[in-house]
Structure 1
Amino acid sequence: MARKHREKIAPWYQPPQDVICPLCGRDIPEDQRDEHHLVPKSRGGRETQTLHRICHRQIHALFSEGELETTYSTVDALLGHPEMAKFVAWVAKKPPGFFDGTRRSNRRKEKNGSASRW
C-alpha cells in the first residue's frame, strides 16, 4: 500500500481569482467589490454583476431605478451613456484600489427637484 506522502494530493487552497470590472476594465480588489443588480431588485431584477464600488456608486448617482430597469439594464447600455462613458474614461486611469466620494449628477437633481448634494 502506497503512503499518502508519495501520492499526489490536490492542494486544498485555491488563490482568489482576479475579478475585472466590466465597466472600467480594472482589477477589483476584494474590499472594493459591489454586486450591482442590472435590473433593480425592487423591480424584480435578479441578475447581478460584480463592479468596482466607485463604478457602482456612479451608476446610482446618474440613473434612477426606472431608468436602470427600462434603458440601462446592460453593461453595454451603461457604457453608451455619455456621462457614464466620461466617468469610465477618467476612472480607468486610476489604480485599482482608488475610491472617491460620488455626487449625484445635476441631471438627476433637476429631474427629482432635489437640491441636495448627494
Structure 2
Amino acid sequence: MPKRRLSNREAAGPPARREEERTCWLCDRPLGRRVEWHHPKPKSRGGRTTEPVHPICHRTIHATYANHELARMADEEIALRDQPELATFLRFIHGKPPDFHAPTRRRR
C-alpha cells in the first residue's frame, strides 16, 4: 500500500501564532531562537500533545520530575508552574532574556 502524501497544512504542524505571541508553556516568557517541544503527558505514558518551552525550562522540568510523576500530574490536571519544586526556578528565570542559558542540575 503506497504511503499517503501529507497536504501542506498537515506538513506544517501545529498552527503558528504570531512571533510576539509565542510564549513558553512553563514560565510564560517570550520564546527565543531555540524552542523545544515538551509533552505534558510523556509519550511513554500515552501523551501526544506538545507545548513550546525554552530549553532551560525543558531541562528543569525533566531534572525535577520523573515521567511517572509528569503523567500523574497531567492526568490530574495539576499545573507545573504552581508546584513548589519549580517556584525557585520560576523566580530565578523571571526577567531573563528569552535565550538565557545556565547549567541545569538534577535534584538530589
For the criterion TM > 0.5, the same-fold answer is yes
Indicate the residue corresponding to 2:70 in structure 1.
68
Note the aligned Cα RMSD (angstroms). 2.0
Please tell me whether the aligned partners of residues 38 and 73 of structure 1 are also in contact (alpha carbons under 8 angstroms).
no
User: Which structure has the larger Rg?
Assistant: 1
Gap change, CA 1:75 and 1:51, over 3 Å in 2: farther
Could you tell me how far apart the structure 1 residues matched to 2:99 and 2:45 are? 31
Could you tell me how far apart the structure 2 residues matched to 1:73 and 1:24 are? 21
Identity %: 41
Give the C-alpha shift of residue 37 in structure 1.
0.3
Gap change, CA 1:60 and 1:28, over 3 Å in 2: same
TM-score under structure 2 length normalisation: 0.74
Indicate the residue corresponding to 2:30 in structure 1.
27
TM-score under structure 1 length normalisation: 0.68
Gap change, CA 1:102 and 1:69, over 3 Å in 2: same
Q: Which runs of 5+ in 1 are unaligned?
A: 1-15, 107-118
Runs of 4+ in 1 over 3 A off after TM superposition: 72-76
Please tell me whether the aligned partners of residues 34 and 51 of structure 1 are also in contact (alpha carbons under 8 angstroms).
yes
The number of residue pairs the alignment matches comes to 90
